[in-house]
Amino acid sequence: MDKFTEEINACLKVLEEGGLILYPTDTVWGIGCDATNQEAVRKVYALKNRDDSKALICLVANDAMLERHIDKVPELAYDIMDLSTKPTTIIYDRPKSVAKNLIAEDNTLAIRVASDKFCKYLINKFRKPIVSTSANVSDEPSPKGFHEISESILKGVDYVVNLHPENPNAVPSAIIKLGNDGTVKVIRA
């Protein structure tokens, strides 16, 4: 079995058991868990020492998975995803079939369709969205590389992926909020 498949299988086992993984994403290193498992999501908030009113980002493998977890995806979202030159997270109204503690107080959820091979493959095999939040304790800077991830994060996850990110100079994604009423707000460019 090749290294890539070994890493995918190890992650799947941890995700299925409600554990936390530390993994390279299409942006920065992320802490991940099953986005439909409320207890797993709670562990992420605890590890990051983060108030659970601060929403987390969720990754899906493709448009079809996105459509299963959002009440109505605005047409504009597809244009933004097609035209974006960097990973872009979109905040949608009325998410569904995800952990309740993942949904923001205003009934929205930030979702990004993963663009890197590892994340797409992992999420496709898992068949559910996974949480993706930067691998840092709240109020500390996001690590720019694996070497900047704190000991508390490394010790606090159940599995650390042993692969290099596709894009080693990654930066956090852009974040755009799309309201079902047609409003568009850039949260992070």
- CA 90 centroid distance within chain: 12
- Residue 139 has a pLDDT of 86
Q: How far apart are CA 68 and CA 54, in angstroms?
A: 23
Strand 88-93 relative to strand 108-113: parallel, antiparallel, unpaired?
Answer: antiparallel
Q: What is the pLDDT of residue 144?
A: 80
Tens of pLDDT, residue by residue over 81-120, are 999 988 999 999 999 999 999 999 999 999 999 999 999 9
DSSP state, 27?
S
Residue 145: is its pLDDT beyond 90?
Answer: no
How many angstroms separate the CA atoms of 44 and 153, rounded? 10
Q: Which fold has domain 3-188?
A: DHBP synthase (3.90.870)
Query: What pTM was computed for the model?
Result: 0.94
Token readout for 52 is: 């659970």
